[in-house]
Structure 1
Amino acid sequence: MAQPHAVEVLLRPAVELYCVAVCFSAAVLCLIAPWSLALSPSMGLGSALGFLGFGAMRMRDALIILRYRRNIRRLPRYVMTSREVPVSQKRLFIGRGFLWDQRHTHRLMQTYRPEFRAYVEPTRLYRLARRLEERLEFASAPCSGLARLTAWDHPLNPAQPLPPVGGQARLHGIEPNEVDVTLPLGERVGHSLVLGTTRVGKTRLAELLITQDIRRRNAQGEFEVVIIFDPKGDADLLKRAYVEAKRAGREGEFYVFHLGWPDISARYNAVGRFGRISEVASRIAGQLSGEGNSAAFREFAWRFVNIIARALVELGQRPDYQLIQRHVVNIDALFMEYAAQFFARTDTKAWQVIVQIEARLNEKNTPRNMIGRDKRVVAIEQYLSQVRVYDPVLDGLRSAVRYDRTYFDKIVASLLPLLEKLTTGKIAQLLAPNYSDLEDSRPIFDWMQVIRKRAVVYVGLDALSDPEVAAAVGNSMFSDLVSVAGHIYKFGIDDGLPGAVADARVPINVHADEVNELMGDEFVPMVNKGGGAGLQVTAYTQTLSDIEAKIGNRAKAGQVIGNFNNLFMLRVRETATAELLTKQLPKVEVYTTSLMSGATDSSDILGRTDFTSNTHDRITTSSVPLIEPAHIVALPKGQAFALLEGGRLWKVRMPLPAPDPDEAMPKDLQQLADHMRQHYVDAGDWWESAGLPGLQNAPLPEDMLDDFRRMAAGELAQNDVST
């Protein structure tokens, strides 16, 4: 509707309808009785068309007013099945909305003025119906039927209840003309941050983005890599990932890694692949506390894990949690094994001298710091002290065994509890897989394999049962992924394969829910430098304080936040989190009107005028923020403010999901999803809950295991053929 006036007022009666009624009546009169207006029949027809045309114009203006008033109270229903989600090779679909500017700030401020209260607040009939439902909740028939009638969610119900999304519909209803909101795919390498409190639509947004990532193909017909980190376990998210992978024909490259269900989970060695050997120690020791006096113990732990990892690699063994724990507890065995290999290469006669030294050892001639060590270890140490031999790995092992055994146990005491948690029960089979066990049909994956196969990986960390293990595994996976990204950046994906292209890149979409619980020092380079290797991180969390509390440093938290170029702000409860968006926005000028009236008495008692009066409207401008933190706090569920493409503010609402008839899952995954729905509760501080005792080792039904073994055996055979 054209707005020739400075102040736009859409919250008002639709007075255009009066004009429409007059125009329609005049048109009917011109057609039926043109003679009453002194018109000929032909002139009456022309006049009727003119009246109808003008009435149509005014009707359009009236409909704009009526639709605006309706949207302020209730938005139209927006439902979409996953099959209907548009998938583009150039843009990422987010939802429907509009680009927020000064007009919308002006309209929003008008809704808070008292003279427009009748158009914004629920009607008297609506409030009466809701009070009636409260009073008749436990009433018997026929009164209960009346309550059900008023609660009927249908447009024919004049007291139709509002959808259970909370918030204020006016935040989105101020713009009736919505468009599809999309993000160019080129902007995704700048990473995206989604902030929102519990149960406001973060998972729905994640499902929407994951659906497109799984189904998207490039110009050559190749899929993209999708990696989903779900610490607490969301059954609908798992179902969505599998259904979309099956719909796209990718169920053969779909992996489920779940700490809570090791019997059907794929296996993964978090420290088995590395670019530099020192990464193994960093991934393990990085899980230990580094504050205060704990920093020194963490450095000791890092050094000894690094010594063990170097020795294992030299011996031709792949490091894993079980091997490292075994040698941390008993480093003597590793020292003797490595010494045997070293002397077999360099000095074949050394063992004769070592055996002689060992035979002469007793408690009196054993050094005090070596008491409690194996005699063979003491003999090797004494032999090495007599000859000039230099080997960095052997020297590292010597320095470890020269420590007093009691002192050694103390300085690695902080490391042992972590390794115990990662190697206890059936979880040990997941994190330390036996590559030579051909009877185990559960697939083993690593990130380079996943990227080369363009696979879809769902990682369920079962944080409700054991948050420390979940955080340790998640951090190790992140660290491993950063290492792989560095390798891809330097050499490409197909390095070492025939016909490899050095600059080959593929989008690697990483969706990390509750990212604050998985965040560590390795996350900073992941979002800072991972874009060059194709990493596109979408992180979901509740508040900025969660990130700061996990990292323990405000500056580092700011460093992490500064690497996210796209920001999606759903409803939050923390003002500081809302200000992350509002402080980046400019102020705008809005118009306000005020009615001014006055009267002036005449001082001339003989004059014919006793007083003069005047009334006028005054238009003023004031500078206000584009949006306030209070507006973000009042967002309905499923709605968000999105700061995209270098500071463009969009107001977005996501579509409600509608069920599809073909969304079916295998029996084992369906049982896993049902268990997650029943037992995984949604809570704001889920990492502080005690979890479910015995969940990790809970047995699965035998028929389910048989189905999974057959499925995995078929996939393993397919991988062997392709290899």
Structure 2
Amino acid sequence: MAEHAMESKLRPAVELYTVAICIAATLLCLHAPWAVALSPEIGLIAALAYALFGCIRLRQAWDVFRYRRNIRRLPRYELTSRQIPVSRQRLFMGRGFPWTRLHTQRLVEAQDPAVARYIDPPLVQRLARGLERHLEYAPFPLSTLARFTAWDSAFNPVRPLPAVGGSALLHGVEPDEILASLPLGERVGHTLVLGTTRVGKTRLAEVYITQDIHRREHEVVIVFDPKGDPDLLKRMYVEARRAGREQEFYVFHLGWPEISARYNAVGRVGRITEVASRIAGQLSGEGNSAAFREFAWRFVNIIARALNELGRRPDYLQIQRHVVNIDALFIEYAQQFFTRTDPQAWEVVVQLEGKLNEKNTPRHMLGREKRVVAIEQYLAAKRVFDPVLDGLRSAVRYDRTYFDKIVASLLPLLEKLTTGKTAQLLAPDYTNLADPRPIFDWLQIMRKRGIVYVGLDALTDAEVAAAVGNSMFADLVSVAGHIYKHGIDHGLPASSQSADKVPINLHADEFNELMGDEFIPLINKGGGAGIQVTAYTQTLSDIEARIGNRAKAGQVIGNFNTLQMLRVRETATAELLTRQLPKVNVLTRTLVSGATDTADPHAATDFTSSSQDRVSATGVPLIEPAHIVSLPKGQMFSFQEGGQLWKVRMPLPKPSPDDAMPRDLQELAQCMRASYNEQAGQWWKASGGGPTLDFDLGRAASPGAVATEDSSTREAP
């Protein structure tokens, strides 16, 4: 094939003419060399030369046929979870290729109307699809014909295209795919995955999570799933069992507290002020709300300090109880303080209490318990100084009506976190040894290299889901700061400490529903503690709407070094990628023809004509927003490693016969499917998983709670 200024593969395979001539010449030289004046020996050499040249031209013709077929239908690509490659240096994404100027050139050439017959479905395909529509309700045996034409098999000559939508051109422009991967060193810079609904974000998360679970170093894996995807939960447990890590697997689910592990978001803190920061940080700080937020922070901090001095671990229930009625905490702390510092004080307080009535009670103390008023009068007379007691005194000195107004913004948040069975999960009873549900905290999970699935049941109650998710993120920020300063094994014996940093893989599906101000420092500074965030959402507008500030939304986006974009429907979101890409020069061909008459009647020629084929270079974007909007399901552009653009298609999930779960987790997954109606489309129908085994557990799949099962037959790769 001669070298030309422009590559052209959308054309007839004219190389076959040369192949036919070479075959004829080879046969002639072998069987009748005398016909071309050759001796038998020279004829054999000539036949070999013709055969070699014919093979070269046949290969060139095959490239043209393969390219034309790739444009219309990509080869099927599916893997079982066991076939997903796991590397200690790279993160597998799928099959793809680096997108270069050549692919932009091919994309431009494919838009030429002259080659439309190579792009559009052939006539027989269009006839078959039309036949299926007309025979949809036809009686037997006509309905059998429609089922045959719709048969998804390689033996079907009119096999329908996969129901992935989009433009096959975007991946078909490169028939020579390779394994696409991301260096693990890039993950600490965080990854943002953008894609509209039902295009494969959660399935891409499954591919990544599978590798994180199976990596030899036993990395920490934390998954936030606001909507509750049953296939994602199933995949995590199955992979944890295959990796021998089922004892490290925890399920936290607000929708099913009966089998969920328990978690206290304010139970482990480095400084006691973190309790107030995590709770008040979820309140609005805009406009007039800022003052109420500051007061709420101060009031929660007073309660947390008092509980800490009393030897209690703060939790949402205790804080909510004392926000509603601060008097009981004031009396309890004063009693302990007097017992420690002034044993005779309590007798004086009882005497003062007996003398109180409505007339001699200060107006601002009306509505308070008499004992509270008596303690306040005693402390005012004695001028006792104690930071915690002074804080409690300042709270009870407020007028009761005024106090209720200024804590009104705090109470709805606490009600969300302490109502119903949610309180059992977020305010666990550490003394109840009969409760089989484990209690975990993030530092414990990171030390034991745990795997955590967090289902927030956002489809049922988005407000509570957001509140709990924000609390967990705030806790993670605190733990990240502790690890950054002291290391993950701080406080453990020196023999058990390890110098290596433990990768903490945090996957946040629909993360815009969980994000608040505490998420910004998590991605901004969490990398120093080994936290690697992979966030999945639909559009940039989701992030901005959640935060309520364009500058903060830009701050969040700016902390993601790797951007992976599936099909999106918002042009502004697509431009987040396309504006970072350079322009490239593509070649365009222009056919120019013309004729010129001769004015001299005595000239030998009447006119002259010319025909030219001009090639010119034009600057165009490497890809445009329209290309991202038309991506098929399961395909994406990955902008990584400081400017490399990869076109990737992820593997279709292929069921494996050993996808077994304990009975309680099977029931949870079935309820999630029924409640959320999250049954994926036809494209993801293969992700259901094969037969399952039942186990009688009766409690959460967590350390000490998972029975030992016999290994089932596994599908050979």
TM-score band w.r.t. shorter chain: over 0.9
Residues 247 and 706, structure 2, Cα contact 8 Å, conserved in 1 = no
Q: Please give the alpha-carbon distance, in whole angstroms, between the structure 2 residues aligned to 1:457 and 1:716.
A: 15
Query: What is residue 441 of structure 2 aligned with on the other side?
Result: 446
Q: Please give the alpha-carbon distance, in whole angstroms, between the structure 2 residues aligned to 1:249 and 1:177.
A: 37
Note the C-alpha offset of 1:144: 1.1
Match of 1:555 among 544, 551, 570: 551
Q: Please give the alpha-carbon distance, in whole angstroms, between the structure 1 residues aligned to 2:497 and 2:113.
A: 67
Q: How does 1:527-566 map to 2 (within 5 A)?
A: 527-566=523-562
Match of 2:328 among 333, 344, 347: 333
Equivalent AA in structure 2 for residue 457 of structure 1: V
Residues 514 and 539, structure 1, Cα contact 8 Å, conserved in 2 = yes
Note the C-alpha offset of 1:157: 2.8
Q: Which moved more, 1:380-389 or 1:394-403?
A: 380-389
Query: What is residue 576 of structure 2 aligned with on the other side?
Result: 580
Note the C-alpha offset of 1:74: 0.8
Match of 1:589 among 585, 588, 595: 585
Q: How does 1:240-639 map to 2 (within 5 A)?
A: 240-499=235-494, 501=497, 503-639=499-635
Q: Please give the alpha-carbon distance, in whole angstroms, between the structure 1 residues aligned to 2:573 and 2:15.
A: 44
Q: Relative to structure 1, is the Cα distance of residues 148 and 49 closer, same or farther in structure 2, using a 3 angstrom cutoff? A: same
Q: Cα deviations across residues 448-496 of structure 1 (Å, max 9, x unaligned)?
A: 1100110100000000111111001111111111111110111111111
Note the C-alpha offset of 1:293: 2.6
Q: Which moved more, 1:452-461 or 1:500-509?
A: 500-509
Q: Relative to structure 1, is the Cα distance of residues 124 and 544 closer, same or farther in structure 2, using a 3 angstrom cutoff? A: same
Q: How does 1:158-237 map to 2 (within 5 A)?
A: 158-218=157-217, 223-237=218-232
Note the C-alpha offset of 1:154: 2.5
Q: Cα deviations across residues 371-400 of structure 1 (Å, max 9, x unaligned)?
A: 110111001111111122221111111111
Q: Please give the alpha-carbon distance, in whole angstroms, between the structure 1 residues aligned to 2:695 and 2:91.
A: 38
Query: What is residue 646 of structure 1 aligned with on the other side?
Result: 642
Equivalent AA in structure 2 for residue 590 of structure 1: V
Q: Cα deviations across residues 263-282 of structure 1 (Å, max 9, x unaligned)?
A: 10000011111112121112
| Secondary structure, counterpart of 2:612 in structure 1 | strand
Match of 1:672 among 649, 668, 674: 668
Q: Relative to structure 1, is the Cα distance of residues 209 and 156 closer, same or farther in structure 2, using a 3 angstrom cutoff? A: same
Q: Please give the alpha-carbon distance, in whole angstroms, between the structure 1 residues aligned to 2:202 and 2:664.
A: 23
Note the C-alpha offset of 1:439: 0.6
Note the C-alpha offset of 1:649: 0.4
Number of positions where the alignment pairs a residue of Structure 1 with one of Structure 2:
694
Q: Please give the alpha-carbon distance, in whole angstroms, between the structure 1 residues aligned to 2:278 and 2:613.
A: 69
- What RMSD over aligned residues (CA atoms) do the two structures have, in Å? 1.8
Q: Cα deviations across residues 42-92 of structure 1 (Å, max 9, x unaligned)?
A: 222222211111011111111111111111111111111111111111111
Note the C-alpha offset of 1:148: 1.3
Q: Please give the alpha-carbon distance, in whole angstroms, between the structure 2 residues aligned to 1:344 and 1:683.
A: 62
Q: Which moved more, 1:558-567 or 1:268-277?
A: 268-277
Query: What is residue 663 of structure 1 aligned with on the other side?
Result: 659
| Secondary structure, counterpart of 1:529 in structure 2 | helix
Note the C-alpha offset of 1:416: 1.6
Note the C-alpha offset of 1:33: 2.6
Note the C-alpha offset of 1:298: 2.0
Equivalent AA in structure 2 for residue 155 of structure 1: A
Equivalent AA in structure 2 for residue 609 of structure 1: T
Query: What is residue 89 of structure 1 aligned with on the other side?
Result: 88
Q: Please give the alpha-carbon distance, in whole angstroms, between the structure 1 residues aligned to 2:555 and 2:187.
A: 18
Q: Cα deviations across residues 186-226 of structure 1 (Å, max 9, x unaligned)?
A: 111000000000000101110000000000013xxxx1000
Q: Relative to structure 1, is the Cα distance of residues 28 and 717 closer, same or farther in structure 2, using a 3 angstrom cutoff? A: closer
Equivalent AA in structure 2 for residue 40 of structure 1: S
| Secondary structure, counterpart of 1:193 in structure 2 | strand
Note the C-alpha offset of 1:331: 0.5
TM-score, normalised with respect to structure 2 = 0.94
Query: What is residue 69 of structure 1 aligned with on the other side?
Result: 68
| Secondary structure, counterpart of 1:348 in structure 2 | coil
| Secondary structure, counterpart of 1:708 in structure 2 | coil
Query: What is residue 50 of structure 2 aligned with on the other side?
Result: 51
Residues 228 and 455, structure 2, Cα contact 8 Å, conserved in 1 = yes
Q: Cα deviations across residues 79-128 of structure 1 (Å, max 9, x unaligned)?
A: 11111111111111111111111111111011111111111111122112
Equivalent AA in structure 1 for residue 239 of structure 2: E
Q: Relative to structure 1, is the Cα distance of residues 123 and 486 closer, same or farther in structure 2, using a 3 angstrom cutoff? A: same
Q: Please give the alpha-carbon distance, in whole angstroms, between the structure 1 residues aligned to 2:94 and 2:560.
A: 20
Note the C-alpha offset of 1:706: 6.4
Query: What is residue 687 of structure 1 aligned with on the other side?
Result: none
Residues 495 and 502, structure 1, Cα contact 8 Å, conserved in 2 = no
Residues 265 and 426, structure 2, Cα contact 8 Å, conserved in 1 = yes
Q: Please give the alpha-carbon distance, in whole angstroms, between the structure 2 residues aligned to 1:705 and 1:421.
A: 34
| Secondary structure, counterpart of 1:538 in structure 2 | strand
Q: Please give the alpha-carbon distance, in whole angstroms, between the structure 2 residues aligned to 1:422 and 1:710.
A: 21
TM-score, normalised with respect to structure 1 = 0.94
Note the C-alpha offset of 1:129: 1.3
Equivalent AA in structure 2 for residue 610 of structure 1: D
| Secondary structure, counterpart of 2:432 in structure 1 | coil
Q: Which moved more, 1:549-558 or 1:401-410?
A: 401-410
Q: Cα deviations across residues 284-305 of structure 1 (Å, max 9, x unaligned)?
A: 1222233333332222222111
Q: Which moved more, 1:562-571 or 1:116-125?
A: 116-125
Residues 493 and 504, structure 1, Cα contact 8 Å, conserved in 2 = no
Structure 2 residues not aligned, in runs of 5+: 681-693, 709-717
Q: Relative to structure 1, is the Cα distance of residues 502 and 215 closer, same or farther in structure 2, using a 3 angstrom cutoff? A: closer
Residues 6 and 587, structure 2, Cα contact 8 Å, conserved in 1 = yes
Note the C-alpha offset of 1:428: 1.0
Q: Please give the alpha-carbon distance, in whole angstroms, between the structure 2 residues aligned to 1:161 and 1:422.
A: 50
Q: Please give the alpha-carbon distance, in whole angstroms, between the structure 2 residues aligned to 1:258 and 1:510.
A: 17
Q: Please give the alpha-carbon distance, in whole angstroms, between the structure 1 residues aligned to 2:412 and 2:253.
A: 22
| Secondary structure, counterpart of 2:102 in structure 1 | helix
Q: Please give the alpha-carbon distance, in whole angstroms, between the structure 2 residues aligned to 1:136 and 1:717.
A: 52
Residues 494 and 504, structure 1, Cα contact 8 Å, conserved in 2 = no
Residues 89 and 183, structure 2, Cα contact 8 Å, conserved in 1 = yes
Note the C-alpha offset of 1:29: 2.3
Residues 264 and 705, structure 1, Cα contact 8 Å, conserved in 2 = no
